[in-house]
Amino acid sequence: MIIDQQLNQLLNQKESEFLDFKLKWHEDNAELIHDILCLSNSNFEGPRFLIIGASDEGVVEGVSENDKTRKTQAQLYDLIGNSNFNIIPELRVSTVKVNNRSNKKIDVIQIENKPEKPYFLLKDKKFRNKNKVVRTGVVYSRLADRNTPINSCVDDKKLEKMFLERFSLHLTPTERFNRYLCDLKGWQIQEGIPTFYQKYPEFTIKEDSEEGFFKNYFEPWVGVYPDAHATGHTYNIMYHSTILDQRRVIFCDGCRVKYIEPKIKYTEDNCYFYRFYYYIFDSYLYNLQQLFFGSPTDTRAYVSPIAFVESEKKAERIILEIQSNQVKDNTGIYLLEKSSRKWFYKNHNNSLKEVVKAQSN
């Protein structure tokens, strides 16, 4: 739902590819459908807004409680569903009281940016009182503050750009792979390992033929398990025959738990070297971990071995907390004592516990 601060920012902007003001709700539903199509197909990276109850200059007039043309979100979805869209756009309708403006209310239709463009109708939508038609198969969009006229259509370049976006062809292969990572059900799984993306099978994950399997892997985080011995495999992320990325998968605690090798940050003080192991939520590594193994269940671990943080800035703040001895959460933090060369971690009681290092086979 749109918040007051965001609304005030929108009202102080001029109409654009993503922003359209209307003094009142449309008397003709076909005109509303045309506006929604234009905004849905506009060339903008972000949500689009149709604000009703404000002039073209963003001056708030408010909507009338007695206006019979007003629509709830359910009513708007019903209208769109009955208008034969090729794809239903994702939108939300909210009513917002505008503070410091005589408490007037405005209605906001927020249309989410999706790669499903172009949106168009599969059947003509006629205007009620005018000799106009929102035409079958015609793609309407928006240029600056202007809609594509009802009797016209977008040019070839804009239409090509929409289809490139729909099939992700405007992205680099690496960007496309990152997007497909989030489609967990779209991958072919063999023996517990994702092997290729079913919709675009040129994206594959293969074990590296040269490095392949390795044993006696050690980083201190694997030593928090009862079985401290860890092994791993190296996998290549591929587009056709090109290697986009290479990642190591670590098998811990007798292969009970598996991780994509996490990120690391380093620091030190007079007594210890520190390592901080982490994933960033919704990042490439986090999504790769979700694709391979989902969220690890660490029921046998003495502590959670790897931290999950909101951002890179949060990871940097944790390093600063280590340096100032003000750490609030020791998850993912390991200490190498300079004098003994032994690894330690802090348990839930905040006391040091030595990391058990497996013997080499």
Distance CA 141, CA 44 (A): 11
Q: Where are the domains of the chain?
A: 4-166, 174-354
CA distances from 305 to 226, 230, 298, 301, 320 (A): 12, 13, 8, 7, 20
Contacts of 18 (CB under 8 A, 6+ apart): 39, 42, 44, 46, 47, 48, 49
| Per-residue confidence in pLDDT tens, the chain, 361 aa | 566 678 888 988 999 999 999 999 999 999 999 999 999 999 999 999 999 999 988 889 999 988 999 999 999 999 999 999 999 999 999 999 886 656 789 999 999 999 999 999 999 999 987 778 999 999 999 999 999 999 999 999 999 999 999 988 999 999 999 999 989 999 999 988 899 999 999 999 999 988 778 888 999 999 988 888 999 999 999 999 999 999 999 999 888 888 999 999 999 999 999 999 999 999 999 999 999 887 665 567 667 899 999 999 999 999 999 999 999 899 999 999 999 999 999 877 788 899 977 665 5
* Residue 77, token pair as written in the block: 């979805």
Distance CA 128, CA 30 (A): 8
Q: What is the pLDDT of residue 101?
A: 55
Q: What is the pLDDT of residue 360?
A: 56
Contacts of 324 (CB under 8 A, 6+ apart): none
Q: What is the pLDDT of residue 321?
A: 95
Contacts of 220 (CB under 8 A, 6+ apart): 275, 334, 336, 343, 345, 355
Task: State the pairing for strand pair 230-239/203-207.
Answer: antiparallel
258-277 pLDDT, tens digit each: 899 999 999 999 999 999 99
Q: What is the pLDDT of residue 278?
A: 97
3-state secondary structure 249-281: EEEECCCCEEEECCEEEEEECCCEEEEEEEEEC
Q: What is the pLDDT of residue 47?
A: 95
Q: What is the pLDDT of residue 301?
A: 66
Task: State the pairing for strand pair 272-280/263-268.
Answer: antiparallel
Q: What is the pLDDT of residue 312?
A: 97
* Three-state secondary-structure class, residue 132: coil
Residue written as token pair 């994950």: 205
Q: What is the pLDDT of residue 205?
A: 96
Domain 4-166: CATH architecture, name and number where available: 2-Layer Sandwich (3.30)
Q: Is 298 exposed, middle or buried (0-12, 13-18, 19+ CB in 10 A)?
A: middle
Q: What is the pLDDT of residue 294?
A: 79
281-291 pLDDT, tens digit each: 999 999 999 99
Q: What is the pLDDT of residue 283?
A: 94
Q: What is the pLDDT of residue 264?
A: 97
